[in-house]
Amino acid sequence: MAGGRLTHFIRRYSSKQTISQVRVLLLNPICHLHNYCIPSNGFPSSSNSFLRVSSLSLLPKFNVYGVKAFSTFVETDVNERKDDNVIVDTSDIAANNDGLVDNDITNEHDVNNGELSSSGNYEGFEHVASIDPVEIYRQLCELPRDGKLGREDWELLHDIFGRFLRSAWATNQALAIYIGASIFPTAVHKFRAFFIKHCRNDIAKYLLSLGPSDEAERFLFPVFVEFCLEEFPDKIKNFRSMVESADLTKPHTWYPFARAMKRKVVYHCGPTNSGKTYNALQRFMEAKKGIYCSPLRLLAMEVFDKVNDLGVYCSMLTGQEKKVVPFSNHVACTVEMVSTDEMYDVAVIDEIQMMADSCRGFAWTRALLGLKADEIHLCGDPSVLKIVRKICSDTGDELVEQHYGRFKPLVVEAKTLQADLRNVKSGDCVVAFSRREIFEVKLAIEKQTKHRCCVIYGALPPETRRQQATLFNDQDNEFDVLVASDAVGMGLNLNIRRVVFYTLSKYNGDKVVPVPASQVKQIAGRAGRRGSIYPDGLCTTLNMEDLDYLIECLKQPFEDVEKVGLFPCYEQVEFFAGKLPDTTFAQLLEKFAENCRLDGSYFLCQHAGIKKVANMLEKVPGLSLEDRYNFCFAPVNIRDPKAMYHLLKFASSFSQQLPVNIAMGIPKNSAKNDSELLDLETKHQVCSMYMWLSNHFNEDKFPYKLRAESMASNIAELLGESLSKATWKPESRGPNRKKPEQKDGYERPRSLIQIFDK
C-alpha cells in the first residue's frame, strides 16, 4: 500500500535498473530501518510481494488511513502484533516502471512537495455512494475542482487506480461496452488523468475512504463507462463491429429453412454392438430419399457397398471421392460433406458423440442443426444425450429416445496375458496407441509364436484397412491375430474374440496420459460383435497392473458432455476479415478466436493445424481468402514435412493459374523396410490430398484427378502387401530424431497408469 516515507522513498529512487541497490540499502544494518521485518529470502522482486512495517514510529501520520481498510495481504505471525502492522505493497514499483505513475502527479494539483500528510478524515461522505454515476460524471465535467488533497491522498488515489487497471473484473466488465483488452489500459490511464484533474472534494474523499478495494472498483466503473462512451466512441464502434462479426451465439438460427421445418429427431442411444446403427439404417433404406453421415471414409464406403448390395441405389460422397449411382436417391457421405441445402426424408448421423470432439466436433453440430430432413436419426452413446435434448429444445424439434443394450455381454478376463505376448490366442486384437508399438507387437508375436498378424492404424488408407480387416476375418488363412490402434474403435466389422490392451496410456501430442474411459469402452466393445463366430466379447490387458484401470473404465457411466464444437464457415470468416484489412489468414483466425462470442453449450474447435498450414501458405502470393480457407482444410499430416511440401507446391501452382500437377514417383514393389513403408504412406496421403483439392476447386485447376486415383489405388495395394510381409523394426516419421536405445530381445515398457494414480 502507498502511504508514508518508505513508500515515497521506494517510488522515487527505485526502477528496474536500480531496484537491486534499493534492496541492498534496505537490508543494510547501518540504515535505521531495523524495525522492518525483511523476509528471510531477502527483498523479493515479485510484484505480489510485500514489505512489512512492524513499527509506526517512522510514519507517525500514516495511521489516519486505518490499517485494516488498506491491507490486501495478512500474514499471521505470533511474533507480530496484528493491530500495529502496516503493509507496503511493492507492486507499485513495477507499476511505476510500466508507465502507470506520473512522478509529478502530486505537483500538478496544488500539493506542497514537502507535505506528506493526509488531508484529514474521510468520514462523512457516504452520500456520494447514492449519487447516480451519470451525475457524478457530469459534476466532474462541469463543476470546478474544489479543496486540496495531501500528497498521501494523491498516492492513495494512484493505488486505487492501479488496482482498477489490474482488475480482471473491470477488464471483463469493460468488454460489455466493447472496450477491448487492448484499449482498456489506455482508457484507464486517461480516465485517471481526467478524474485527478476534475475531482470534487466529496467524491475524492469518498473514494479514498474505500481505498484500493472491490468497492472502489465498483464505484469507479460506472463513471469510467460514461467517460469511455464520450472519449472513445470510434474505437468502441469499431471493436463492437468486430465482435459482432465474430458472433457465434445461437447457432441454431443460422439455418432458417431447417428451423421452418418440424423435424423429428430419433436418438438411438447405446453402447457398441447394440444394434443402434442397424436400426437407423433400416429406416434410411425405407425412405424415398435419405442421407447417411459417417465419421470416416471407411464407414461411408461400407454403407455404400451394403446398401447397394441390398438393392437400394445409393451414391457416395467423401472429401476424396464422388461415386454417383444412376437413379439413386440415397447418399452415404462423410459428415463434413453433408449438404444443408438438399431436402431429405431421412438422415442418419452416426457417432453423434463426436460433437464433443475438440477438432472435428463442429461438423456433427452443423449436421444436427442444419440438415433439412423430416426425420434425423442420431446414433451414439449416452454422453451427448443431455445436450441434444437442450439443442432440440432450442430448435423446436421433437426428440424421441430409443435405448439399447449389448447383444452379447462384454466380459473382463481376470487373467491377463501376464506381460507375455506368447499368451496371445487366435481371434485376439492387441490394441496399442502408437505406430511404433504396433509394429513392435506384431514383430514380437510373429517371432515368438506361430500366429500371423494383420495391422490396422490411422495412417493407413481406408482401402488398406478394409483389406487387412478382410484378411483377419477370413478363417481359411493363417492371419488370425489383429494388431491395431484406436482406429479399430469404429468403422470396421471384425471377428474379434478378445481385445487385449497392450497399454492403457498414450501420448496426446503433449504428454503421456491415461486413455479416456469413453475410448476404452468404444474399443473394448469391438469384441464379440453380432454375427461374430464368438459367443461372448472378452477383454483384458497385457499387464496385471493395467487390469484395475480397465475394469474401472468399463464400470464408469458415460460422462455427460457439457459443450459441443463450433467453427466458423467461410462466409463468417470473410465477414470478420472485412473488419481487419491487411491481416494474414493465420492472424485472422487468432483474432477470431480471441473475440468470438459463444453460448454456454458450445466451444470453438481447435485449429492449430489449420493455423500451421495458413502460416506456411503466407509464402504463396496471389491466393484469395477463400482459396486459403479451402487449402487450410485439406487433409494433410502437419507433422509430415514431405506431405506439407507437396501441399505448398500445389498451392503455388494454383496461385500462378497453372494446372496443378501431381508429379511423384511410385515404386513398383512392396516396401522392404519401415522407411519405404513410411514413404508409401506419405505418397498415398499426397494422392488423397490432390483428390480432395480437385473436389473443392474447379476441375480444370486439378486436371489429373484420375491419375491421382489410380496412383492411390496402386499404393494402397502395395501397402497391403508390405504389411503382410513386414518383419522390421519401426522408424520415426519425424526428421532428425534419435532412435531410442533398445535392448536385445523384446521388452514391454512399464505401464504408466500407476504413475498417474500417485
**What is the per-residue pLDDT for 62?**
32
Q: What is the DSSP string of 8-28?
A: HHHHHH--TTTHHHHHHHHH-
The cell numbers describing 433, all together, are 496407441
pLDDT band per the 50, 70, 90 thresholds, residue 723 = very high
pLDDT > 90? residue 58: no
pLDDT of residue 732: 58
- Select from 209, 232, 248 the last residue of a domain: 248
Task: Answer yes or no: do 244 and 260 share one domain.
Answer: no
Q: How confident is the model at residue 16 (pLDDT cuts 50, 70, 90)?
A: very low
**Per-residue pLDDT tens for 476-517?**
889 999 999 988 888 778 889 999 999 999 887 778 899 999
71 domain residue, yes or no: no
Q: Are residues 346 and 431 in the same domain?
A: no
Distances 103 to 11, 98, 136, 732 between C-alpha atoms, Å: 9, 12, 27, 60
Q: Residue 127's pLDDT is what?
A: 77
Q: Select from 202, 219, 248 the last residue of a domain.
A: 248
Banded model confidence at residue 286, pLDDT cuts 50, 70, 90: very high
Tell me the pairing of strands 398-403 and 322-323.
unpaired
Is 118 part of any domain? Answer: no
Between 141-145, 261-265, 275-279, 440-444, the lowest mean confidence (pLDDT) is in 141-145
Q: Does residue 517 sit in the same domain as residue 635?
A: no
On the 0-12 / 13-18 / 19+ scale of CB atoms within 10 A, 496 is buried
Higher per-residue pLDDT: 748 or 664:
664
pLDDT on residue 235: 84
Average pLDDT over residues 242-258: 90
The per-residue pLDDT for 123 is: 54
CATH number, domain containing residue 444: 3.40.50.300
Residue 428: closest CA among 307, 534, 299, 289 = 534
How high is the pLDDT of residue 43?
A: 39
Same structural domain, 640 and 687 = yes
Indicate if the pLDDT at residue 447 is higher than 50.
yes
Average pLDDT over residues 463-468: 93
Whether 10 is covered by a domain: the verdict is no
pLDDT tier for residue 90 given thresholds of 50, 70 and 90: very low
What does the block give as the cell for 252? 441454431
Query: Looking at the predicted structure, is the pLDDT value of residue 114 above 60?
Result: no
- Whole-number Å distance between alpha carbons of 637 and 458: 11
Same domain, 551 and 422: yes
Are residues 211 and 262 part of one domain? no
pLDDT of residue 376: 97
Q: Where is the domain boundary, 223, 248, 273?
A: 248
* 42 within a domain of the structure (yes/no): no
Q: Residue 665 has what pLDDT?
A: 84
Residue 237 has what pLDDT?
83
pLDDT for residue 55 is more than 80: no
The yes-or-no verdict on residue 669 having pLDDT over 70 is yes
* Residue 160 included in any domain: yes
Model confidence at 745: pLDDT above 50 = no
Same domain? For 472 and 596 the reply is no
Residue 737: the pLDDT is 45
Q: Is residue 102 part of a domain?
A: no
Which pLDDT belongs to residue 95?
Answer: 38
410 or 85, higher pLDDT: 410
In terms of C-beta density within 10 A (0-12 exposed, 13-18 middle, 19 or more buried), how is residue 311 classed?
exposed
Identify the burial level of 235 via C-beta atoms within 10 angstroms of its C-beta, where 0-12 means exposed, 13-18 middle and 19 or more buried: middle
Residues 216 and 259 in one domain: no
At residue 482, the 3 state secondary structure works out as strand
Tell me, yes or no, whether 743 lies in a domain.
no
Residue 119 scores a pLDDT above 90 = no
Return the minimum-mean-pLDDT range out of 328-342, 357-371, 577-591, 722-736: 722-736
User: What pLDDT is attached to residue 83?
Assistant: 36
Tally of domains within the chain: 4
Least confident span in 234-238, 529-533, 653-657: 529-533
Question: Taking the model in full, what pTM does it have?
Answer: 0.73
Residues 269 and 399 in one domain: yes
Q: Residue 122 — very low, low, confident or very high, per pLDDT cuts 50/70/90?
A: low
Q: Is the pLDDT of residue 63 over 60?
A: no
C-alpha distances in Å from residue 420, one per residue of 444, 500, 524, 748: 10, 12, 20, 9
Please tell me the least confidently modeled range out of 31-45, 458-472, 621-635.
Answer: 31-45
- SS3 of 665-707: the string is CCCCCCCCCHHHHHHHHHHHHHHHHHHHHHHHCCCCCCCCHHH
Domain of residue 603 covers 584-725
pLDDT over 70 (residue 288): yes
The pLDDT value recorded for residue 666 is 84
C-alpha cell at 13: 529512487
Residue 147 confidence class, pLDDT cut points 50, 70, 90 = low
Cα–Cα distance for residue pair 67/82, rounded to 1 Å: 10
Q: Is the pLDDT of residue 118 over 60?
A: no
Q: Would you state the pLDDT for residue 149?
A: 74
pLDDT for the residue 736: 47
Q: How far apart are CA 521 and CA 531, in angstroms?
A: 20
Tell me the pLDDT band of 733, cut-offs 50, 70 and 90: low
Question: Same structural domain for residues 399 and 488?
Answer: no
* 224 and 299 share one domain: no
Nearest to 666 by CA among 715, 710, 702, 707: 715
Mean pLDDT of 379-408: 94
Closest CA to 717 of 744, 689, 683, 686: 683
Question: Do 319 and 210 belong together in one domain?
Answer: no
Higher pLDDT, 149 or 40: 149
Residue 730: inside a domain, yes or no?
Answer: no
pLDDT band at 64 (very low <50, low <70, confident <90, very high): very low
Average pLDDT over residues 176-193: 86
57 pLDDT higher than 90: no
What mean pLDDT value characterizes the chain? 81
